[in-house]
Amino acid sequence: MILITKPNTTEAQIDHIIERIAQWGLRCEVSRGESRVVIGVIGAEDHIREKPLAALPGVESVTPVLKPYKLVSYEFRGMHSPVSVGGVQVGGAEVVVMSGPCSVESREQIVSIAQDIKAAGARILRGGAFKPRTSPYSFQGLGVEGLKLLAEAREVTGLPVITEIMDTKDLEAVEDYADCLQVGARNMQNFSLLKEVGRSKLPVMLKRGMSATIKDFLMSAEYILSEGNFNVILCERGIRTFETYTRNTLDLNAIPVLKAETHLPVVVDPTHGIGLREHVAAMSAAAVAAGADGLMVEVHNSPELAKSDGEQALLPEEFGCLMARVRAVAHAVGRSA
């Protein structure tokens, strides 16, 4: 349920509304606009309906959220909600670029790449310490050692770190070293994991499953928010279609749709979306033109030696060219990068 206050509602009245909602055993999320305050009321629908919300002093209107994803819906907050990742705001005027290798392989590798991408304009370092792979015989990541190397690269460059969490048992270790948790496409509907990261103090970037509808995607995000963590970023990374020439089909439709449906920031991963190095820059530009709040781009200083996804990773100099292209498009649509 969404409460909208009157323009002249006082702070005391707003405090009273919040206190009364808490007394009823409900939770609330408060968003402040220029003249009105929007209060989202969270709890069992039947329980909420029983309460005289419209009678509270200062309330102008009470509107039910009819969509199945209540907390992630745009109506719930009535404005977009930027998310801070180690001090970098995702969802504001700047198109934030996250970059780095698919897998952390060594100290020299991750520090060198982190320095290169920072020089080109990347704002967040990505790298996998725990790797979900199709084959059990493929490289699975360095684990905690990889997390330590990411933290070391952060010390050298100042770039905040995002890395994937695959298992609830690894959450405490990942929280010790990372600035943002990534839930990968294969785990988008791992509801136990979603609930666990929903109780984390770190922001979460949720990747769309390879066969998930937009509704499926938003319902998975709802799991995280329902546990109290509203610092969630959505990531479109391509879906499986009948097309086999590219790795996936990057669903550019999803960007404006998600921006209309939810208050959460939307990031695009063009690397996995197309899987062809030579076309990553073009899809990055297209994503920015469509309204993406950020990009996640894989970069490796020696792709032919990469332990995972080398065929789609950009060289540092190619990433520099991509950043120049992204800046031009961002400027054209009234943003920065």
pLDDT value of position 146:
94
- Tell whether 293 and 175 lie within a shared domain: yes
Q: Is 90 exceeded by the pLDDT of residue 73? A: yes
pLDDT value of position 300:
95
- Tell whether 14 and 143 lie within a shared domain: no
pLDDT value of position 141:
78
Q: Provide φ and ψ at 70, rounded to 5°.
A: -80, -50
CB 137 within 8 A of CB 108: no
Taking the C-alpha atoms of residue 272 and residue 240, their distance in angstroms, rounded to an integer, is 11
For residue 159, give the nearest of 98, 219, 204, 205 by alpha carbon. Answer: 98
- Mean pLDDT, residues 211-236: 96
- Mean pLDDT, residues 103-110: 94
CB atoms within 10 A of CB 336: 11
- Mean pLDDT, residues 47-61: 92
Q: Is 90 exceeded by the pLDDT of residue 34? A: no
More confident residue, 194 or 139: 194
The token duo for 38 is: 């929007």
Taking the C-alpha atoms of residue 312 and residue 310, their distance in angstroms, rounded to an integer, is 5
Which CATH number fits the domain that encloses residue 27?
3.30.70.1140
Which CATH number fits the domain that encloses residue 197?
3.20.20.70
pLDDT digits (tens, 9 = 90+) for 245-276: 999 999 999 999 999 999 999 999 999 999 99
The token duo for 313 is: 């990773």
pLDDT digits (tens, 9 = 90+) for 145-156: 999 999 999 999
pLDDT value of position 133:
65
The whole-chain average pLDDT of the chain stands at 94
Domain, as residue range, for 124: 83-332
- Tell whether 56 and 142 lie within a shared domain: no
pLDDT value of position 107:
95
pLDDT value of position 137:
66
The token duo for 279 is: 């076309």
pLDDT digits (tens, 9 = 90+) for 168-207: 999 999 999 999 999 999 999 999 999 999 999 999 999 9
Q: Is 90 exceeded by the pLDDT of residue 36? A: no
- Tell whether 106 and 170 lie within a shared domain: yes
72 occurs within a structural domain: no
